Structure 1
Amino acid sequence: MRAALLLTAAALTAAGCGTGTATEKPRVPISSDVVASAPAPVSTPELERALFDAARANDAAGVRAAVERGAALEARDGDGRTPLVAAVKAKAGAAAAALIDAGADVNAQDDMQDSAFLYAGAEGLDEILLATLSHGADVRSTNRFGGTALIPASEHGHTSTVRILLRAGVPVDHVNHPGWTALLEAVVYGDGSTRYVDTVTQLLDAGADPTIHDARGLTALQNARNRGQHDIVALLAAAGGD
């Protein structure tokens, strides 16, 4: 009897029972240890309409909310405009800044070949222009007339904009499809007033060639003489415009 009890105790000890240490069970991962990634938000026509509405209304908070909910930054409206182009054409600076900060493409062009960069340059929207330049604007891009942003900026006498574009490296002697350079347009479409004198001075200082002829074979100096722009005539003559 005693021998049988000893044998039973020995068997229990070997199996990890009784006074021995119990064998640990293998650990099974629990579902709370696994973090599932949240699905990316999906853009919908309703979200895109909300984004366009906020962009045109200069509602920066509305822009950010629509983007966070998944509205596509590069959605297009009936005119081929992205929300950013729509904001810039509405002169909605705060909304444009919010879109640019969110990663909107500053070089995307609409059906009229206007981009945020090109339109801001043409219209003298300097704050937006600077934002596009700091986010990869293509300074050599061209509009539907085959012109750079510098050409319409010079045509309109946007002196501060001309300064920004020249510093950014926009080609000063680019010729557009109608045959105009920035210098020629500043003379042909300008009125010889102080802001156009400033514009012509900046262009010449940046190395603009005053001897380039327009499509009719006239130089900037000849055009200035024909228009009685005496101060600009003096500048061009001094720069070798003849």
Structure 2
Amino acid sequence: MKAIILLASLFFACTQRSTDPVMLTNPNASGNDYTFLSIGDSYTIGESVDASDRWSVQLAGLLRKQGVDIADPDIIAKTGWTTAELQEAIQQSGNQKKYDFVSLLIGVNNQYRGQSQDRYRAEFRKLVQTAINFAGGKAGRVLVLSIPDWGVSPFAAGRDRPKIATEIDAFNAIAEDECRKMAIAYVDITPLSRQAAGDASQFASDGLHYSGKQMRQWAETALPVARTLLTN
């Protein structure tokens, strides 16, 4: 029972430990043609995986292999954050930098905590505007990823998986709709996460978060969209 509680706190933590950094910066970013900011929650910070396995770090590496000289990302993300907590953390970070490219992946904790879809829509909209501001006002340099489905994880055994899937689909529909309204690129990685069901290699050692192998697929799916945004 204690192990289950611990796993839940890793993914769905409600508070931030004071010793954890709000923002992770890449000190070598000035040597690249493009800078990159990635914001979100556990899926962005890469809970229970190596830093090199984070999906946005893998995306940057794939872009460089295709000749797009982009730095590894600065990251503002933490396990357990909702949309409101991410927005608050961004403000606390004091980050005033402008970036050539910004990614956003957020919402799983809104769903898990049973927050309303209306609240998610309003707070997600504000976060997208924040991402646009980080991108120097360029909506065409912002990329949003859909929320993966944690209901297929080993941790979710015994839970109402169809209900989790339905709720995540509803939150993703809101995100996609808001992105459409604001001319923001939206990449749907949720089907990839669902294909991971039953494959232990697709999950991190905690049985809840996704492994670098799964996040590689997210990066590969986002790659052509990100390349187009940066080179057009």
Pick the structure with greater CA Rg.
1
Normalized per residue, which structure has more helix?
A: 2
Q: TM-score, normalised by structure 1?
A: 0.28
Q: TM-score, normalised by structure 2?
A: 0.28
